[in-house]
Structure 1
Amino acid sequence: MSFNKRFILLPFFCCTITVGIAQQKKPASTYSVNKTVIAQGDALFQKNCSDCHNFKTRGIGPDLSGVTADASYAYLSKFISNSQALVKAGDKRAAAIFAEYKVPMPSHPQLKPTDINAILSFINTYKKQAEVYVNTAALGIPVTDPMPAKIAKSGLTLKLQEWLTAPKTSTKNPSTRITQTFVLKGPKGNRMLMLEMRGKLYEIKDGRFNTIMDMAQLKPNFIPEPGLASGWGSFAFHPEFYKNGLLYTTHTEKKGSAPADYTYADSIPVALQWVVNEWKINDPNATVFDATPREMLRVNMPSPIHGMQQIIFNPLSKPGSADYGLIYLGIGDGGSAEARYPQLCDAPTQIRSSIIRIDPAGRNSKNGKYGIVAANAWAKDADQNTLGEVYARGFRNPNKITWAADGTMLASDIGYTMVEELNIVKPGLDYGWPEREGTFVLNFAGKKSAIYNLPARDHKYTYAVAQYDHDEGNAISGGFVYEGKIAQLKGKYIFGDIVKGRMFYLEYKDLKLGQQAQIKEFDLQFNGLPNKFIDLVKNPKADMRLDLGENNTIYIWAKTDGKIWEVKDCIAN
């Protein structure tokens, strides 16, 4: 969600769908066969729906092939407009799908009948396919409840105080797509920065959000759509930024904007491209950056989901150490596996589904724009087919990378079928995607994927050190090991769930490869009053994120309303 950041937008259709269909004189009430209308519907679907749906298998939402034969045009139109109204009215079909996918789809009053007609007309071109029988008897019985024991309350309450509200960048939900904070430490004092995925890098000063860099203005092919993980993905300042002025960013561009360094067969669609740039900032102290870009690498992706995640330098590395000045970057599978293109993400011959480590000062990469780190496991394996960039692999959507004070690298990974996970990342290890999800075998055979218990003596992959299932939440919002001033929180890895807005923690000392640590839940108190985050934001999807600010202050916010909360204390109930 997605969901490097993730949203089950509907059981039939996804979307904060934008309008753009030419007005018809009289809105149609049946499926069009007009090629222009279908092409418009295709464009809208690819732009706004393909992050949750396809026509081969269930994803975040259902497989849509044949859906127009299963329900009437009028019913599907109502479902898109307001699915929860159908659920509340007792409609059995809507209620059953809501129960299966757990998260409701928001209403879409902004959609015109012509928009809905075009989308449905395009979907109508995909007829239901016969189920291909695959014998899965060797895997045993599918697991329907991976973790029957529920996450327990911890007896601790986070006391949150309203801090600031980010500027709205859209009149539609989400109103703002703030996603990452960073404290830039410099000779003239520290600067608090926050990223907005629609293209703005803010400096927060005296309670104001000042734009210091605008990707939409700097890159003409920049696209922040369909939303979720697309747009300006992440940023990282070189550890010697105030000497060399170097800033590194990831962002999305239209497909075909430029030749990609990482491609695949023409028979597989390209939804968009993810791009890494190095920017030379003329004056690091300026209130608005005057920046010159240098493209480092470009990757084609078959769908809008699970693109480039966090770009980061190891904050613990010091000048002279082997890790100093090297870039780490989490790259998701781009939706490859659920779109039935596992060959794009299932081996170290592919850059997708990996965490890479590269040297921005080097030039020995295939494209000559960055350096391959000789110590990387797949750089020294004597196999010309593997990618020396890859540090570790086997992740569906490694959305947050962090380091504990003892140097241990951690990465959260957003799941697909049932499991969200946290991993201790070691160089050269494979964490299993797309053959594993958490500590379970994942099988994509047939229309409905399923998970199974691991076989005996399974040593092929490395497994999560903490995990929870979709009864508890739907997309992990990765966090950090807290080292700030709040005594009750010290030594805890603090994280949350993007969709359900729940806040969790585990004791960092309990994290060990080969076993799973116990997760506990915080209660929340906002401006002195107890509440649930999802109720506070009044949205079916909380769209919650968290990050650190000055002096390890914890900030929690929702993209839905842009209101940022500061954790002031943690108390025992």
Structure 2
Amino acid sequence: MIYKINGLLRPVVGYALAGIALLASSNLQAQNRSTTYSTNKQVVEKGDELFQKNCSECHNFRQRGIGPDLSGVTAEASYAYLGKFIVNSQALVKSGNKRAVARFNEFNKVPMPAHPELKAADLNAILSFINTHKKVIEIEKDLGDLGTPVTNPQPQKIAKAGMTLKLQEFTTAPATSAKNPVTRINQTLVLKGPKGNRLFMLDLRGKLYEIMNRQFITVMDMAKEKPNFISEPGLGSGWGSYAFHPEFYKNGLLYTTHTEKKNSAPADFAYADSIPVALQWIVTEWKVKDPTASTFEATPRELFRVNMPSPMHGMQQIIFNPQAKPGSPDYGLLYIDIGDGGSAEYRFPQLCDNTTQIRASVLRINPMGHNSKNGKYGIVPTNPWAHDSDPNTLGEVYARGFRNPNRISWAPDGKILVSEIGFNNQEEINILKPGFDYGWPYREGTFRMVFSGKKSGVYNLPAHDDPKYTYPVAEYDHDEGNSISGGFVYTGNIPLLKGKYIFGDIVKVRIFYVDYADLKLGKQSVIREFDLQFGDQKSTFIDMVKNKKADIRFGQGEDNVLYIWAKTDGKIWQVQDCVAN
């Protein structure tokens, strides 16, 4: 058994009996463990790669997330059991295996995806890598009186709205993989131009499409443009986002984010060598030779790149203020939401908990300026930390305290909404304000977040809360869903939807709304759920795609029509109407 004392990992003989007791309580004893784990360096490295690709979205070796903490699991369960669980956890659950059933119930009956494609050698590599992570028990820090951990932050269930969204099939995106998900379509954009509007859609695997007459035409292929481009292990990696400059048809400037292999080039935002680098996120400006062309021929100019300690929580979106007019202060400024890169969960909070770090922030930059540290973009002088006389703070940061800001959108009155994917319990909708701190990694939703051994979890806020934190205006817990998919305040032609911020949950695939007029700082707005009708059939996304994780996203088209799609099958649905039940 290994213990963590003052940040150092040390064996502690005095705790041996406690360690024995912990092992004895396991359903499957350590003595049943197979001896087939490999210590070969190449096998373990392959296992690390496969783990990041297949497992790291839900698991780590520090604490529970969407799934359990896996440190020490090879001492608690047999090699054969773990292999079967990875390949098809639900088969074990259905067989009545006590450990599998207990895990399924513990994590709100959200099934772990099956991995039938993994060969015996792949399983051995993954399990050998997992076996290198022994149980670490942290000596508890003195955090004062936290009270009792909150196990059900939102006891009141989300009620049905008594309204049905009528969805009509629009088109289906090209498959970019033979296995699930067949696509990773992620973001639509309408580009307004002198000869009419154009509708674009991005697939994170590296394809930018223009949709014409419901057909997909490849406009750019990031894998061909960037030799170090990677779109695995998923988790938002790949071609993350894109944004056309407001004067694109005049200057031909397109902005993108994408991921590359670690050490592809020196990072502008790096950290100590003792902390691992999983990958790099890059922001690029492209000069498109002919903005009207059906295929973009473009020259890249890198603005900056960021090292990340894990594949999680990267750059989810870049966007220009769609309401800013020429001459207004916000015109031509690029907003970039960047998550913590898993820093908090991997126990590197110093990479994401202050304004000297770029992670866990929403940035606002002038992409055509040159007064940044690397001279490749501009620091906006009106940003909160641009002129605070502290050389260590970053003028790029507009607001901070976000674990994984999923989407940014502008409401009709100019307010900016940011959806935030949570960790232990809470999914959030926030109103973005310059200079505000939204709490991560010390707050999750309207609760206190603690990373400290057995005390890890969420707690009620202290009686005298730190006034520097700003809290969400709507939230839901993991009884209701596990990962928010941000949407839009509806401004289209359907009367019952006007003034509603429509969004959903990626994992449990439910479609929600809040009344935008109710979203105010300092209060929680009520969330309601739509019923769904696909063509003439009332159903759910899970039943339509026949997969427990449909992985939904939202987009807008011409005339502010609303699209909803599932990455699982790539089928795009247009919201045609909304009727009272």
Shorter-chain TM-score bucket reads over 0.9
CA distance in 2 between counterparts of 1:86 and 1:131 reads: 32
- The residue that corresponds to 1:495 in the other structure is 503
Residue in 1 aligned with 2:277? Answer: 270
User: Is 1:40 matched with 2:81?
Assistant: no
Task: Tell me which residue corresponds to 1:390.
Answer: 397
**Which amino acid counterpart does residue 279 of structure 1 have in structure 2?**
W
Give the one of 72, 80, 83 matched to 1:77. Answer: 83
1:549 CA displacement? 0.7
Say if 2:557 is the partner of 1:549: yes
Between the aligned partners of 2:52 and 2:155, the Cα distance in structure 1 is 37
1:111 aligns with 2:118: yes
Distance 2:323 2:544 in 1: 36
Matches of 1:29 and 1:525, distance apart in 2: 52
Task: Choose the corresponding residue for 1:532, options 530, 540, 545.
Answer: 540
Q: Is contact 1:29-1:74 (8 Å) kept?
A: no
- The whole-number CA distance in structure 2 between the counterparts of 1:136 and 1:90 is 40
Q: Distance in 1 between matches of 2:136 and 2:403?
A: 27
Q: Does 1:522 align with 2:530?
A: yes
1:331 corresponds, among 338, 352, 355, to: 338
User: Are 2:201 and 1:160 equivalent residues in the alignment?
Assistant: no
Shift of 1:275: 0.2
- TM-score, with length taken from structure 1: 0.94
Q: Equivalences for 1:281-292 in 2 at 5 Å?
A: 281-292=288-299
1:270 is matched by which residue type in structure 2? V
Say how many residue pairs are matched: 546
Paired position in structure 1 for 2:157: 150
Q: Identity of paired residues, percent?
A: 71
Q: Give how far 1:127 is off.
A: 1.9
- In structure 2, relative to structure 1, the CA distance for the partners of 1:524 and 1:444 (3 Å cut) is same
Kept in 1: contact 2:140–2:454 (CA 8 A)? no
**CA offset digits 1:174-202 (Å, max 9, x no partner):** 10000000111111111110000000000
Provide Cα deviations, 1:203-259, integer angstroms capped at 9, x if missing partner.
111121000000010000000000120000000000000000000000000000000
- On the 8 A contact 2:137/2:453 being kept in 1, the answer is no
1:559 paired to 2:567: yes
Q: Which residue of 1 aligns with 2:92?
A: 86
Which residue of structure 1 aligns with residue 245 of structure 2?
238
Of residues 339, 351, 366, the one that matches 1:344 is: 351
Task: Tell me how far 1:547 sits from its aligned partner.
Answer: 1.1
- Check whether the contact 1:260–1:300 (CA below 8 A) recurs between aligned residues: yes
How far apart are the structure 2 equivalents of 1:141 and 1:388?
A: 39
The Cα shift of 1:448 comes to 6.3
Residue 58 of structure 1 contacts residue 447 of structure 1 at CA under 8 Å; is this kept in 2?
no
1:326–1:357 Cα contact (<8 Å) kept: yes
Tell me how far apart the structure 2 counterparts of residues 149 and 334 of structure 1 sit (CA, whole Å).
Answer: 32
In structure 2, the residue matched to 1:8 is none
Give the 3 Å change call, closer, same or farther, for CA 190–549 of structure 1 in structure 2.
same
> Residue deviations 1:282-324, cap 9 Å, x none?
0000000001000001000000000011100000100000000
Q: Which residue does 2:3 correspond to in 1? A: none
**C-alpha contact (below 8 Å) 1:333/1:344 kept by paired residues:** yes
Pair 222,536 (structure 1): closer, same or farther in 2 beyond 3 Å? same
Partner of 1:486: 494
Q: Is the 8 A contact 1:48 1:225 kept in 2?
A: no
For the Cα contact (< 8 Å) 1:223–1:230, is it kept in 2? yes
Query: Distance in 2 between the 1:456 and 1:133 partners?
Result: 22
Q: Is the 8 A contact 2:235 2:313 kept in 1?
A: no
Please name the residue that 1:401 is paired with: 408
Counterparts of residues 48-87 of structure 1 (less than 5 Å) = 48-87=54-93
- Which residue of the partner structure matches residue 5 of structure 1? none
**What letter matches 1:326 in structure 2?**
L
Asked if the contact 2:140/2:455 (under 8 Å) is kept, the reply is no
Q: Structure 2: 5+ residue runs without aligned partners? A: 1-33
Query: Taking structure 1 as reference, are residues 70 and 252 closer, same or farther at Cα in structure 2, changes over 3 Å only?
Result: same
- Bigger drift between 53-62 and 76-85 goes to 53-62
- Describe the SS at the equivalent of 1:141: coil
- TM-score, normalised to structure 2, is 0.92
> 1: distance between equivalents of 2:69 and 2:274?
20
For 2:550 and 2:410, how far apart are their aligned partners in 1? 26
Question: In the aligned structure 2, how far is the partner of 1:214 from the partner of 1:272?
Answer: 20
Q: Which amino acid aligns with 1:314?
A: N
Distance 1:563 1:448, change over 3 A: farther
Partner of residue 263 from structure 2, selected from 250, 253, 256: 256
2:8 paired residue number = none
Q: Secondary structure at the match of 2:369?
A: coil
Aligned match of 1:17: none
1:32 CA displacement: 1.8
Residue type at the aligned position of 1:72:
S
1:456 aligns with 2:453: no
Q: Is the 8 A contact 2:231 2:239 kept in 1?
A: yes
- Secondary structure, counterpart of 1:523 in structure 2: strand
1:63–1:447 CA contact under 8 A, matched in 2: no
Contact 2:308/2:341 (8 A) holds in 1: yes
1:86-130 Cα shifts (integer Å, max 9, x gaps): 111111211111122232112211111111011111211222223
Compute the displacement of 1:543 (Å).
0.4
Q: Equivalent residue of 1:429, what SS? A: coil
Flag structure 1 segments of 5+ consecutive residues without an equivalent.
1-27
Q: Deviations over 1:10-69 (max 9, x none)?
A: xxxxxxxxxxxxxxxxxx982123333223222322444333322222233222111111
2: distance between equivalents of 1:423 and 1:455?
21
Alignment of 1:205-244 (within 5 A): 205-244=212-251
Deviation at 1:536, TM superposition (A): 1.4
Higher relative contact order (CA 8 A, sep 6+): 1
CA drift of 1:507 comes to: 0.6
**Range moving further from structure 2, 299-308 or 536-545:** 536-545
Secondary structure at the aligned position of 2:370 is classed as coil
Q: Note the aligned Cα RMSD (angstroms).
A: 1.3
TM superposition shift of 1:131:
4.3
Is the alpha carbon distance of 1:243 and 1:236 closer, same or farther for their aligned partners in structure 2, counting shifts above 3 Å?
Answer: same
| Aligned-partner Cα distance in 2 for 1:278–1:460 | 35
Could you say if the C-alpha distance between residues 85 and 29 of structure 1 is closer, same or farther in structure 2, counting changes exceeding 3 Å?
farther
Aligned equivalents of 2:469, 2:140: Cα separation in 1 = 28
**Counterpart of 2:395 in structure 1: which amino acid?**
G
Q: Which amino acid aligns with 1:170?
A: S
Q: Which moved more, 1:52-61 or 1:255-264?
A: 52-61
